[in-house]
Amino acid sequence: MQLNTLARAATILGIAAALAGCSSSTPSAPATSVDVVAGGMAEAKAAGADPSQIELFADGAISYSDYETAINRYAACARDAGYTVTITGTRASQGVTVLNYAVAVPTGKTIDLADACYDKYAKFVDKYWQASSPDAIAFSDRRENALRPQLHDCLVRYKVDVPDDASFDELVKSAVDHLQKDESQNCMVDIGYGTWQG
């Protein structure tokens, strides 16, 4: 058996979440937690997720227990499809608690069936828990406040023209754009964005 460690818990957010606010030039009212949960439920329904995953959104919030339930259902589905799934405990990530797990892919198989199980039973709950739960949002706000000055200074050091009053999202977009021009100048890495635990 070949062992593939799935790093969904560590990578689901990434820089894309920081860029989420960059898609519109006109400000809109911030979404409430209830709106975000309703959006997660609608997204899960539209994607054909299992009713057991959709039901976890029904009370208007996703708790750690809901997240754990969804991941365990995914693991059970993957095991039924012939994969070995090992859950080795929990860890803190981006302001929330996540499960550590690994999937062993049998020789001659691909990860595709396990991925289908993830989509069916856990994807949308996992995404909400790690990116949009109140604890995840509070963490993101703390990180933004702590790292905004460093990101601005890094971009200036690399001769990127950014206004002093640029928002964090604008700075992240500038950092990503600059990285595409010069891969040796990665301000997101330089400021420790992905490893910040504050």
* pLDDT tens digits along 131-171: 999 999 999 999 999 999 999 999 999 999 999 999 999 99
pLDDT band at 21 (very low <50, low <70, confident <90, very high): very low
Note the pLDDT tens digit of each residue in 23-81. Answer: 333 333 444 567 888 889 999 999 999 999 999 999 999 999 999 999 999 999 999 99
Asked if residue 151 and residue 67 are part of one domain, the reply reads no
How much is the average pLDDT of 183-194? 95
Q: Do 76 and 166 belong together in one domain?
A: no
**Which tokens is 111 given?**
């990860």
181 vs 177: CA distance, rounded Å: 7
What is the reported pLDDT for 9?
35
Whether the Cβ atoms of residue 128 and residue 40 lie closer than 8 Å to each other:
yes
Same domain, 110 and 81: yes
pLDDT tens digits for range 83-137: 999 999 999 999 999 999 999 999 999 999 999 999 999 999 999 999 999 999 9
Q: Which domain does 181 fall in, by range?
A: 140-195
pLDDT on residue 37: 87
As for how many domains the chain has, the answer is: 2
Task: Write 119-122 long-range contacts (CB < 8 A, 24+).
Answer: 119/47, 119/49, 120/48, 120/49, 120/50, 120/53, 120/74, 120/77, 121/49, 121/50, 121/52, 121/53, 121/70, 121/73, 121/74, 121/77, 122/53, 122/70, 122/71, 122/73, 122/74
Residues 173 and 101 in one domain: no
Indicate if 111 and 55 belong to the same structural domain: yes
59 belongs to a structural domain = yes
Q: What is the pTM assigned to this prediction?
A: 0.75
Question: Does 46 lie in the same domain as 96?
Answer: yes
Polymer length of the chain:
198
pLDDT at 18 over 80: no
